[in-house]
Amino acid sequence: MRYLTARKRAEGKGASHTGTEHHWYMTVSSVGLACMVPLFIFILGRALGSSHDDVLATFSRPFTAVLTGLVLLVGLRHFAKGAQMMIEDYAQGTTRKLLVMFVIGLSYVLTAFGLFALAKIAL
């Protein structure tokens, strides 16, 4: 006879076996984005309408460059995880697999291009 607690029997029994991990990741990243995005929008708003040299000077500052990089990384990873959860809920079979691969690939490509452009500006 096995003596298991109710928690031990229920652990990992969700439909995807990772529901809690996804929920916590999305919660933590959304709190981080809620703090970073207003600062980023303020900095971006001040740079809009400025000359090319002023925009380069703004985004070459260390704080602005790090903030922009974090917004790119965290924001696009948050997008990929959220889109993956949405696709897993509404698509089935091969379509699901292809859409998940496309969304994750798209987020990695956009992250790479964004960080490359930021590195060209900041360095």
CATH of the domain at 98: 1.20.1300
Residues 118 and 72: beta-carbon distance below 8 Å: yes
Mean pLDDT by 10 residues, the chain (123 residues): 69 65 91 97 95 94 96 97 93 95 98 97 90
Query: Whole-prediction pTM value?
Result: 0.83
Question: CA-CA distance, 57 to 60, in Å (whole number)?
Answer: 5
Instruction: Report the pLDDT value the prediction gives residue 9, as an integer from 0 to 100.
Output: 66
From 1, 114, 13, 2, select the one nearest 65 (Cα to Cα): 114
Flag whether 83 is in a domain. Answer: yes
Instruction: Report the pLDDT value the prediction gives residue 14, as an integer from 0 to 100.
Output: 61
Flag whether 63 is in a domain. Answer: yes
Flag whether 27 is in a domain. Answer: yes
Flag whether 15 is in a domain. Answer: no
Flag whether 44 is in a domain. Answer: yes
Instruction: Report the pLDDT value the prediction gives residue 12, as an integer from 0 to 100.
Output: 60
Tell me the three state secondary structure of residue 18. coil
Instruction: Report the pLDDT value the prediction gives residue 120, as an integer from 0 to 100.
Output: 95
List the domain range (segments joined by +) for residue 24. Answer: 20-122
Number of domains in the chain: 1
Question: CA-CA distance, 83 to 92, in Å (whole number)?
Answer: 14
Flag whether 10 is in a domain. Answer: no
Flag whether 110 is in a domain. Answer: yes
Instruction: Report the pLDDT value the prediction gives residue 10, as an integer from 0 to 100.
Output: 65
Instruction: Report the pLDDT value the prediction gives residue 22, as an integer from 0 to 100.
Output: 83
Flag whether 8 is in a domain. Answer: no
